[in-house]
Amino acid sequence: MSNYPEDMVAPMRQELVQVGFRQLMSAAQVDEALQRPGTTLLLVNSVCGCAAAGARPGVTDALRNYGLKFDQLVTVFAGMEKEATAQAREYFEGALPTSPQAAILRDGQLVHLMQRQDFLGRSPEEIAATLGAAYRQLVAAS
């Protein structure tokens, strides 16, 4: 059971789908995606203001303007697909559950995690720069 009407969250989902994110709707889909080899960007989407003002546009900006090349882009929606969201957070190694969250994983292991406080009061450009720096650090460590 979801917390929000689907017609309300559909545009929020679409913002990510339009830039190449695949929606994970079940815990099994999360495990299948996150256990694949390679690099993954996972966004825990949300209806909150910091997701709308920062997380979604910041991630989109990072992908478009920073040359980030992930093997896969995936998303879960907090408050909607609760089992999928809870399963995704199992990969976040003891971090408190917040919404939104942006995680970079390599071969199923967490490399970088942005929590709600990393989005609050920050512009999409600042968020994109943070993700870009984390991505460059990942590539440099390869």
- Which amino acids are annotated catalytic? 48, 50
Cα 138 to Cα 74: distance, rounded to the nearest angstrom: 18
Cα 39 to Cα 75: distance, rounded to the nearest angstrom: 14
Cα 32 to Cα 50: distance, rounded to the nearest angstrom: 28
Cα 73 to Cα 19: distance, rounded to the nearest angstrom: 9
Cα 127 to Cα 129: distance, rounded to the nearest angstrom: 5
